[in-house]
Amino acid sequence: MLKKLNVCKHASTMLACLPLLACYTGAVASTDFPNKPVTIIVTYPPGGSTDAITRLLGNALSKKWGQAVVVENKGGASGIIGSAAAARSKPDGYTLVMNASGPQAINVSLFKELSYDPVQDFSPIIQTTTLPLLMVTTTSSPFSTVPEFIEWAEANKGQVNYCSIGGGSPSHLAGELFQSNANIKMTHVPYKGSGPALVDTIGGVCHVLFDSALSAGPHVASGKLKLIAVGTESRLDAWPQTPAIAETLPGFSAYTWTALLAPAGTPQDIIQKINLDTAEVLTDASIAEKLKVQGALPGEGSPEELASFIKIEINKWAQVIKEGNIAIN
């Protein structure tokens, strides 16, 4: 370092040396990071999918970096509390946030006032997972495919409902998007969580439910629920015979996801290092298998791709929320 600095010892040459210094210190920041524990904020309470995914990836990154990765749960207010805290953190790479699609892409349109900006307040790093939504119904339903359900809904106007795990949830918005794309009308019945919604779907009270593979998948496997379709753009390896909704309604996609982000202003070389290291972790077969237990698919991509994806998701769900006249406060 001394040799690098000596070329700039005269004030008259200082300006000419600034690009060299910037490049040099950037390289040091990247290769030296992290040299102390890293905290990852989770915007949900312990025990959920996002928390489990963060702890899994955090443990893997801790081994890779030789530094502790501390998971800090800041749940509450639909992810707003944790997101706002992350946005206000020092932008040095030592405080990150594992956020989900709700706080990062939906809240901005769902709430009239938000204490953080999902685009301006964060530096995207990498999409860590995709969590598929399953379209399910009771086993005694007279329909088994998306075309059959649409035909049945048209023949039973005013009597069709879809349940969700809560107002404003991805489960709710998936139902709104479906009825808009299919040009049918359904009544939304919100529940407080997956548990009661699944019980009433199994019992036939709910005609259809859009729920995560983690929650609904085991009931499909046990034969308690009928799987109609998946909300991802293409079919899933777990259910290769089950079509994607997009095969009937082109362009349809509705799933949740998680992504790793840093406060805005975090040095780009640190963002790139975390991206590359996390991407390497996500390609590990044992990690992929453990994510599968959480109903998740490993993510990938560059910071730029994640930034573009978040903007697309924000615009998509903003339109759904506007058309459905959905608001929380």
Q: Name all domains of the chain by residue range, CATH numbers in brackets.
A: 36-131+255-324 (3.40.190.150), 133-247 (3.40.190.10)
> What is the DSSP track for 164-223?
ESSTTSHHHHHHHHHHHHHT---EEEE-SSHHHHHHHHHTTSSSEEEEEHHHHHHHHHTT
Q: What is the pLDDT of residue 329?
A: 58
**CA-CA distance, 177 to 156, in Å (whole number)?**
19
Taken in order 287, 227, 217, 131, the sign of the CA dihedral is positive
Q: If you search the block for the tokens 């949740």, which residue do you land on?
A: 256
For 47, counting Cβ atoms within 10 Å of its Cβ (0-12 exposed, 13-18 middle, 19+ buried), the class is exposed
List, in sequence order, every beta strand (DSSP E) within 165-313: 187-190, 208-212, 225-230, 255-263, 297-298
In this structure, the number of other CB atoms found within 10 A of the CB of residue 15 comes to 9
* Cβ-count burial 70-95 (b if 16+ within 10 Å, e if not): ebebbbebbbbbbbbbbbebebbbbb
For residue 163, give the amino acid letter: C
Question: 49-65 and 285-293 are packed helices; what angle lies between their axes, rounded to 10 degrees?
Answer: 160
Asked, as a colleague might, if the bond just before 170 is cis with ω within 30 of 0, I would say no
**CA-CA distance, 159 to 142, in Å (whole number)?**
14
**CA-CA distance, 22 to 300, in Å (whole number)?**
29
Write out residues in the chain with pLDDT < 50, as ranges.
Answer: 1-29
Q: Contact at 8 Å (CB) between 240 and 3?
A: no
Q: What is the pLDDT of residue 327?
A: 80
Question: 170-182 and 146-155 are packed helices; what angle lies between their axes, rounded to 10 degrees?
Answer: 70
**CA-CA distance, 215 to 18, in Å (whole number)?**
55
Residues in Cβ contact with 56 at an 8 Å cutoff, skipping those fewer than 6 apart: 287, 290, 291, 294
